[in-house]
């Protein structure tokens, strides 16, 4: 997608600067646009843990390039490659794409041990990045139909009002995003849209990242406190909710940023459709129905106690919003049960959030 008119992906490799993985440091946005160089598995793991890169697809693509760095560091030792892969796997536990990408790279090397691992893993990482971007674009082409249908049924010329939570935009993937892709596709075609952007405490990915993305694409939007959504829905100011997901099981239960469950409850109570957008790489085909065994990451309490922003001197700084002697809990994700989800928007089309609906789009997974 575009930054000041120039196209970027979230993660990439410059052929003239190897072995280095380049990322957009998302902790600096929206105040500064900085490119960070990662030259080791250790620096890449740190970038994932500290959310310099974040979002399901982006973490997966970063992990894929991390395996290229691992191939460089392992010097032909498969046991060393596995050890470095384990470090990447431990970076963040909830996002399915991370483990999916690492396993894909490990399996590839295991089947081709006599080939050049560095070339092999770099080519595969590029392929994973291209797939992610293509799948997200296809999600947009399928999902935009929902927005057009809503516009057709509105009794006035007001824009289609979409509420989204956290950042499931192009910054969360290689390109396009999942929840934002239908918005971008429809907006570029001239459909009038407006996005309600949840700030998404405690790290404010909505206020910092989604709003920055939408501004760069010229999409009208309004940042709101997290607890505003229910009021807007009850007041008839939301037409549809679209979120992303970090892990969705084959029964349609959705793990996403903390607070998603509450949006789904409010949408259901007000008769507003609640859609979840995801590429197939975000499905967890092994998790049990209900999502109770999906690991829920608990992050540092400092993220709740402190908040970052731009100070009066124009520098990014952190201030405490309460006392460090108090107790804090920082659950990063929650699980929204499938009964609250109107549908899943994937690269293969839109389906019901159910075992039958998902397997209808992915029949090859039935016997897995």
Residues 358 and 260 in one domain: yes
Task: Please give the residue range of the domain that contains residue 227.
Answer: 144-365
**Of 130, 165, 198, the domain-final residue:** 130
- The predicted pLDDT at position 16 comes to 84
Longest dimension (CA), the chain: 65
Residues 199 and 335 in one domain: yes
- The predicted pLDDT at position 368 comes to 64
Residues 106 and 217 in one domain: no
Q: Provide the strand spans (E) within the chain.
A: 2-3, 6-7, 11-12, 21-24, 35-38, 160-164, 193-198, 221-224, 240-243, 247-249, 254-257, 274-277, 283-284, 306-310, 316-320, 333-336, 343-346, 349-351
Residues 218 and 360 in one domain: yes
Task: Judge whether residue 316 has pLDDT over 70.
Answer: yes
Which sign does the torsion angle of CA 94, 52, 172, 29 carry?
Answer: positive
Task: Judge whether residue 301 has pLDDT over 80.
Answer: yes
For residue 153, the domain's CATH number is 3.40.50.10470
Residues 189 and 236 in one domain: yes
Overall number of domains in the chain: 2
Residues 193 and 114 in one domain: no
- The predicted pLDDT at position 367 comes to 78
355: in domain: yes
d(CA 43, CA 151): 46
Task: Judge whether residue 146 has pLDDT over 70.
Answer: yes
Encoding tokens for residue 234?
């009850």
Residues 309 and 193 in one domain: yes
For residue 85, the domain's CATH number is 1.20.120.420
137: in domain: no
Residues 125 and 157 in one domain: no
**Of 88, 104, 130, the domain-final residue:** 130
DSSP 113-169: TTS-HHHHHHHHHHHHHHHHHHHHHHHHHHHHHHHHHHHHH-SSSPPEEEEE-S--S
- The predicted pLDDT at position 328 comes to 97
301: in domain: yes
Per residue in 253-288, pLDDT tens?
A: 999 999 999 999 999 999 999 999 999 999 999 999
135: in domain: no
Which candidate, 121, 129, 116, 102, places its Cα nearest to that of 12?
129
Which candidate, 31, 7, 2, 82, places its Cα nearest to that of 308?
31
- The predicted pLDDT at position 366 comes to 86
Buried b (16+ CB within 10 A) or exposed e, 253-263: bbbbbbbbbbb
Per residue in 3-16, pLDDT tens?
A: 888 899 999 999 88
Query: Is the pTM higher than 0.85?
Result: yes
Residues 149 and 230 in one domain: yes
DSSP 210-233: IHHHHHHHT--EEEE-GGGHHHHH
Q: What is the mean pLDDT of residues 205-225?
A: 97
Active-site amino acid positions = 246
- The predicted pLDDT at position 5 comes to 85
Task: Judge whether residue 178 has pLDDT over 80.
Answer: yes
Residues 92 and 155 in one domain: no
**Of 69, 104, 130, the domain-final residue:** 130
Q: Confidence class of residue 126 from pLDDT cuts 50, 70 and 90?
A: very high
Strand partners, 276: 243, 344
Which candidate, 275, 269, 266, places its Cα nearest to that of 351?
275
Give Cα 108 to chain centroid, integer Å.
25
Q: What is the mean pLDDT of residues 293-320?
A: 94
Q: How many CB atoms are closer than 10 A to CB 347?
A: 23
| C-alpha separations of 350 from 8, 212, 299 in Å | 28, 28, 33
Do 352 and 339 form a contact (C-beta atoms < 8 A)?
no
Which candidate, 289, 290, 301, 341, places its Cα nearest to that of 325?
301
Do 48 and 37 form a contact (C-beta atoms < 8 A)?
no
Residues 31 and 98 in one domain: yes
Please, which residues have CB within 8 angstroms of residue 60's CB and are 6 or more apart in sequence?
Answer: 95, 97, 98, 100, 101, 128, 132, 281
């Amino acid at each position: 997608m575009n930054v000041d008119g120039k196209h970027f992906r979230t993660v990439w490799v410059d052929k003239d600067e190897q072995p280095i993985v380049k990322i957009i440091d998302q902790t600096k946005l929206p105040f500064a646009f900085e490119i960070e160089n990662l030259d080791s598995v250790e620096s890449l793991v740190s970038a994932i843990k500290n959310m310099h890169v974040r979002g399901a697809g982006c973490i997966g693509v970063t992990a894929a390039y991390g395996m290229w760095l691992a191939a460089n560091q392992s010097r032909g030792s498969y046991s060393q490659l596995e050890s470095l892969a384990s470090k990447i796997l431990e970076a963040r536990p909830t996002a399915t794409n991370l483990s999916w990408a690492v396993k894909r790279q490990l399996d590839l090397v295991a089947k081709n041990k006599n080939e050049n691992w560095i070339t092999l893993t770099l080519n595969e990482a590029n392929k994973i990045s291209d797939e992610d971007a293509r799948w997200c674009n296809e999600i947009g082409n399928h999902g935009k139909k929902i927005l057009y249908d809503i516009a057709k049924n509105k009794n006035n010329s007001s824009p289609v009002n979409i509420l989204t939570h956290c950042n499931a935009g192009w910054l969360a993937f290689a390109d396009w995003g999942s929840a934002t892709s239908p918005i971008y596709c429809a907006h570029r075609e001239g459909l009038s849209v407006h996005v309600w952007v949840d700030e998404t405490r405690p790290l404010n990915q909505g206020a910092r990242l989604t709003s920055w993305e939408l501004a760069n694409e010229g999409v009208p939007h309004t940042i709101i406190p997290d607890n505003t959504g229910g009021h807007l829905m009850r007041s008839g100011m939301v037409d549809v909710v679209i979120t992303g997901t970090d892990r969705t099981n084959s029964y349609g239960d959705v793990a996403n940023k903390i607070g998603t469950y509450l949006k789904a409850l409010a949408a259901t109570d007000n008769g507003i459709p609640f859609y979840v957008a995801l590429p197939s790489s975000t499905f967890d085909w092994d998790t049990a129905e209900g999502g109770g065994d999906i690991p829920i990451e608990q992050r540092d309490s400092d993220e709740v106690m402190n908040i970052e922003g731009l100070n009066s001197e124009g520098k990014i700084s952190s201030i405490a919003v309460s006392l460090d002697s108090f107790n804090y809990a920082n659950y990063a994700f929650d699980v929204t049960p499938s009964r609250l989800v109107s549908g899943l928007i994937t690269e293969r089309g839109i389906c019901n959030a159910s075992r039958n609906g998902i397997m209808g789009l992915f029949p090859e997974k039935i016997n897995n």
